[in-house]
Chains A and B, each alone.
Chain A
Amino acid sequence: MYRILKKEALSNLVKSMVIMAPHVARAARPGQFVIIRINDTGERIPLTIADSDRKEGTVTIVFQEVGKSTMHLGTLNEGDEIATFAGPLGHPSEIDKYGRVICIGGGVGIAPIYPIAKALKEMGNYVITILGARNRALLFWEDKMKDVSDDLIICTDDGSYGRKGVVTEPLKEILDRGNDISRIWAVGPAIMMKYVSLVTEPHHIPTIVSLNPIMIDGTGMCGGCRVLIGDESRFVCVDGPEFDAHIVDWDNLLSRLQYYKKEERLAIEHWHKCRLDL
């Protein structure tokens, strides 16, 4: 069992938790993820590692309450324990000195982009960060991101904070101004990553995305997370989670993400009903 040491609401839908998990903290690196399971009847879900502290033996996860498991997780408190915390999984991000880089975080994807931006900054890169959210209430970690960015641009879909619009707009402007950007990372909803990829492709700038398909074991055993990269079927859990955005088959990923929507709704209904019965 793994204890929740700290819980914080980052926005009305996004929460962060610091979990005691020395075995994961010891090896965790930017870009990797964990598989968590709340209790014995729980499902295994992947969550990107937002931060880790080797000395304290802790790992920070950030999640948006979208499904039954994340809603359930959101009801747990400091001192509570969860049943499974396995990892770190996946290949770490390739951090190097590239020059000028752009880090894009959309929605809950702001959390996983943070350790990547931080590591890139520490390597001496010039880091331009673009954060996007539906509205101001969903935005978080502005200060943390500011600390690790040379430029920080914030967009909201409704214009309630920062620029009005989506992340691809400032991205396009930067790229149109000149081609001194050597690498781009984007983490967020699949649809956002798809459009980032479409914007950067004509500029031939290497663009790295962290994919978030449905996973079950997360250790390479089931292939449920497979995506088409070029013509090849690859497993996100062992071959990824980061891939070259320009050769991802986005429509296949988006369609596979929809496959269990009906069951996800049923699970939420069942969860609400169980809570009412208590």
Chain B
Amino acid sequence: MTELNQKDRLKIRRHEMPVQDAVIRRGNFDEVALGYPEDLARREAERCLQCKEPKCVEGCPVGVLIPQFIKALREGDIISSIQIMKVKNNLPAICGRVCPQERQCEGNCLLGKKGEPVAIGRLERFIGDYELAHRTCPIERAEKSGRRVAVVGSGPAGLTCAVDLARLGHSVTIFESLHSPGGVLTYGIPEFRLPKRVVQEEINYAIGCLGIEVFTDHIIGRTITLEDLLSGYDAVFLGTGAGLPQFMKIPGINLNGVMSANEFLTRVNLMKAYLFPEYDTPVRIGKKVAVIGAGNVAMDAARCSLRLQKIFGIEDGEVRIVYRRSKEEIPARREEVVHAEEEGIIFDFLTTPVEIIGDTSGSVTGMRCIRMMLGEPDSSGRRRPIPIEGSEFKMDLDTVIMALGTSPNPVVFFDAKGLERTRHGTVVADPETGRTRMSRVWAGGDIVTGAATVISAMGAGKKAASDIHKFLINNERWL
């Protein structure tokens, strides 16, 4: 291809990514977004203006060398592109699929000021998938340091921290409470958005290349305490996330048919309930489903509900998102909202439940809701929803899924004296280094921030790994 000038580049429109048709995909758990083929990826890469001071990189929590990887890609040097990517990000096939790019790299892209930003996320995914298929770039580890680090939790934060430390030559052991590593990537995000094959291959490859030891079925706080770990390891990183689901404090929350999004998604993703009875774990889905909340987890739960209705042969099913603010404030990734709308999810904005109603057998039959209006901005900067008096109405339902966020699981804190926590239950840690108030213990990801994104957890895992490394090689004393 001849070298284009800036003007030519500006003329190229952003390339759509092929997706599975909305009508068909509602009935299966196969991946929705199919990824760019190589020619589309290279053409999209041509759009990048190679800014001298790239704003996109500033928007990336792990600082991926975006212009450089895109340049190598459009020159057809995919292997270099992968190497550049892996300097900062070991899991591009995952990040390309789940990052909220519109608020990070793509949100900062110069092209986005007047038109559409470069599809950085889709290019990242292309690079990640290419590497997954061809394995051109083995992960190398430095000479053994002789130092041992325990990483608790194998989600995005723990995994990133473990991989970075192992690359630097430290001996790393991961402790995971569930039977399969990956954390939210495994139990939370559905197959159709992030295939489990991608997650397991990425994890197994990194673990295999680096000789990381993984103990599943180990619940820190119960199987082993933090104190135990500190006596066997030079440093401990806590990346146990925010797994404890929150329920609304309204009547009827314990009725049959009301569940947390975590329960629903765990049944569906981790336990494969959509394949029941081939898989043992069942899941119930009703004809009329309401998901409360509008984050990524809510979108995932709603879209899983719709698929289960089709798979289980429930006709004329309805799935709605009930959200107390308006469309503008939706916290979910934009692509997920678009996909949910295409698939036929109903959105009830400015609506909040006040009571869940059940029958005499203890099962959900409906929900009393109230309409809201938006007032002045609150501490989050978003306009605060205020109930409209006298606007109550009843919604007929048989399934209610609560997707209202999560807080850190308290189990990890048993016998962890000295670990300071906030009143929200999160761990107090230095945002730049991940150091907690407990000697030789670092923390990062949702356990520190509360429920956030995969990539911000990875960013925290990276920062902590670099600080742990510094601590270990300098033989620092914890002050």
Measured CB to CB, the residues of A under 8 A from B are: 23-24, 26-27, 37, 41-44, 68-69, 83-89, 216-217, 219-224, 226-228, 233, 238, 249, 251-252, 255-256, 258-260, 263-264, 266-267, 270-271
Task: Provide 24 A-B residue pairs closer than 8 Å at the C-beta atoms, listed in order of the A residue.
Answer: A41-B278, A43-B279, A44-B271, A84-B179, A85-B217, A86-B217, A89-B219, A89-B222, A219-B409, A220-B244, A221-B244, A221-B262, A222-B260, A222-B266, A222-B267, A223-B247, A224-B259, A224-B260, A226-B254, A233-B254, A238-B244, A259-B284, A260-B284, A263-B284
Most buried by A among B178, B267, B284: B178
Beta-carbon contact of B263 and A223 below 8 Å: yes
| A35 (CB) vs chain B CBs: closest residue | B217
- Tell me how far the C-beta of A258 lies from the nearest C-beta in chain B, rounded to whole angstroms: 8
Q: How far is the CA of A24 from the CA of B362 in the complex (A)?
A: 37
Beta-carbon contact of A220 and B409 below 8 Å: yes
Q: How far is the CA of A37 from the CA of B178 in the complex (A)?
A: 11
Beta-carbon contact of B263 and A216 below 8 Å: yes
Q: A252-B362, A255-B362, A271-B277 are in contact. List 4 more A-B contacts (CB 8 A).
A: A222-B267, A255-B361, A259-B284, A267-B276
- Tell me how far the C-beta of B185 lies from the nearest C-beta in chain A, rounded to whole angstroms: 14
Q: How far is the CA of A27 from the CA of B228 in the complex (A)?
A: 11
Q: Which 9 A-B pairs have the closest CB atoms?
A: A255-B362, A263-B282, A222-B263, A43-B280, A86-B217, A270-B277, A221-B243, A43-B281, A84-B179
Interface residues of B in 307-347 (CB under 8 A from A): none
Q: How far is the CA of A220 from the CA of B266 in the complex (A)?
A: 12
Most buried by A among B217, B257, B282: B217
Q: How far is the CA of A263 from the CA of B283 in the complex (A)?
A: 8
Beta-carbon contact of A223 and B243 below 8 Å: no
Q: B407-425 interface mask toward A, CB cutoff 8 Å, 1 = contact, 0 = none? A: 0011100000000000000
Contact of A223 among B260, B279, B361 (CB under 8 A): B260
- In the complex, chain B residues whose CB is within 8 Å of the CB of A85: 217
- In the complex, chain A residues whose CB is within 8 Å of the CB of B219: 86-87, 89, 219
Q: How far is the CA of A270 from the CA of B263 in the complex (A)?
A: 24
| B259 (CB) vs chain A CBs: closest residue | A224
Beta-carbon contact of A223 and B245 below 8 Å: yes
Beta-carbon contact of B218 and A216 below 8 Å: no
Beta-carbon contact of B187 and A221 below 8 Å: yes
Beta-carbon contact of A42 and B280 below 8 Å: yes
Beta-carbon contact of A219 and B177 below 8 Å: yes
Q: B353-397 interface mask toward A, CB cutoff 8 Å, 1 = contact, 0 = none? A: 000000001110000000000000000000000000000000000
